[in-house]
Structure 1
């Protein structure tokens, strides 16, 4: 693979929580225009990242109340799908590639590249498998599991000639609590319709973390190092300011603020 550009936002302050979503689109466009692979790491503190479908639960205010009671904050992302948790034990990883280099990058190709990347690490010894875990939160065809317990979910976002393959990886922390949080959001937001209408009947025990799977505490820094050890890359994090100052980034950031106005008003009401 051509040498990748690494952009590591680390743990993003709460006031900048919309940043990685705006930045992903900018980096994806850049990857396509420049035929340049990119790796993007980021984290958010105590956040339930909601998909657009989640904003349409029957009793949204009650669902948001459940998030508040768990001491998390909601964020409505600029894509479909369903809710996922982000906190200090979750690493968000994007592998951003041109749609077409030697041949067009299909949706399944994109998912497979993320799985192949993880399987080049020492974590592959745990036999990571791909397949939907239907009672996890945000279930999907390329859920990644160890011993039938989900450790990661993968999604894609395509912008112009680039594609971002995005994975949240549960590294450490109380995964059961995360599952209870998402379950409580859907229980409060759907009431008697819980587990129907295309929303998962979340079972917190269907998921785990890398740390629990390997029976040792793994740090976010260790996981980043492991992921990067077999990838040719240059750390371009210091160049992030170049993207932050572009008009397109500012517009996408503004769009994120506007998208979240209703959610934030209901949350703090």
Structure 2
């Protein structure tokens, strides 16, 4: 499998977008950008790598918007000083703040040699394992069921989850996305999501596919590796793996220049409008309900 990816990346240069920490007013932009990038790589056969962070944000899956008492759950976030949004893909709630790094690998998926869902997950897992292979601990990919947004490709050390992986596919492009809890207050993040489900699901807490979140099921990479790590440290480790193992040349691109191109700008505006509409619908459902 890895030979397939190496062959893909050796065929062309790749683009890197290192997006500054996204504040509340721009919170929807990374999700619109992901769809722009997926369509771009499918057309241009140029892999894209995207780093981003968000400021005090809870990212909800669409299933989260269908809880029993959504206003009560959202009040938990507001009380904690977090804003919230609903993303344009599956999964459940995750927390984004300045101690959490979001990283996406966006690659073409040609009709001649389709990349399977497990292969894509395995690829991201391999990149992260390589990024920290100078440590003696083992990074495992397995579900940590009591974490928030649990899945088969949760990444953990000693059964403590620090990252979760997801995918989004449009046409002949794929985005493989991961969040990594690098530093900060992970137990508090977990407690907040636990309280969201407790308040919003009431007696149905832990049922119907919603996780019974245990704040102690997750931890930061810094704590698990017993080394102070910054988000920038983790970015450097990941880019080192990419340039060493997979890419001939990695070009760090100004995001505004890319989005300023007419075709990409039109695509970005289209996908932003979809994200705005999705989130307006949720907020309209809450109109008149005290939070």
Shorter-chain TM-score: which interval?
over 0.9
Q: Distance in 2 between matches of 1:221 and 1:160?
A: 32
When normalised by structure 2's length, the TM-score is 0.88
Alignment map for 1:119-268 (pairs within 5 Å): 119-123=129-133, 125=135, 126-232=137-243, 233-238=250-255, 239-242=257-260, 246-264=265-283, 266=286
Secondary structure at the aligned position of 2:21 is classed as: strand
Q: Distance in 2 between matches of 1:79 and 1:121?
A: 27
Match of 2:86 in 1: 76
Aligned pair count reads 269
Q: Distance in 2 between matches of 1:268 and 1:11?
A: 30
Q: Contact (CA 8 Å) 2:147, 2:161: kept in 1 or not?
A: yes
Could you tell me how far 1:23 is from its partner in structure 2? 0.4
Q: Contact (CA 8 Å) 2:38, 2:173: kept in 1 or not?
A: yes
- The CA RMSD over aligned residues, in Å, is 1.7
Gaps of 5+ in 2: 1-8, 244-249
Cα distance change, pair 268–33 in 1 and its aligned pair in 2 (3 A): farther
Could you tell me how far 1:211 is from its partner in structure 2? 0.5
1:3-40 deviation per Cα after TM superposition (whole angstroms, max 9, x unaligned)? 32101112012211100000000101111111111100
Could you tell me how far 1:242 is from its partner in structure 2? 2.8
Q: Distance in 2 between matches of 1:145 and 1:89?
A: 17
Cα distance change, pair 124–74 in 1 and its aligned pair in 2 (3 A): farther
Match of 1:104 in 2: 114
Secondary structure at the aligned position of 1:260 is classed as: helix
When normalised by structure 1's length, the TM-score is 0.95
1:154-178 deviation per Cα after TM superposition (whole angstroms, max 9, x unaligned)? 0000011100000000000110000
Q: Distance in 2 between matches of 1:222 and 1:172?
A: 11
Q: Contact (CA 8 Å) 1:51, 1:83: kept in 2 or not?
A: yes
Could you tell me how far 1:69 is from its partner in structure 2? 1.1
Could you tell me how far 1:243 is from its partner in structure 2? 5.6
Cα distance change, pair 241–172 in 1 and its aligned pair in 2 (3 A): same
Could you tell me how far 1:180 is from its partner in structure 2? 0.4
120-129 or 239-248, larger mean C-alpha shift: 239-248
Alignment map for 1:56-75 (pairs within 5 Å): 56-75=66-85
Secondary structure at the aligned position of 1:78 is classed as: coil
Q: Distance in 1 between matches of 2:29 and 2:290?
A: 21
Could you tell me how far 1:128 is from its partner in structure 2? 0.4
Q: Contact (CA 8 Å) 2:24, 2:83: kept in 1 or not?
A: no
240-249 or 173-182, larger mean C-alpha shift: 240-249
Q: Distance in 1 between matches of 2:104 and 2:73?
A: 28
Q: Contact (CA 8 Å) 1:118, 1:124: kept in 2 or not?
A: no
Q: Distance in 1 between matches of 2:133 and 2:83?
A: 31
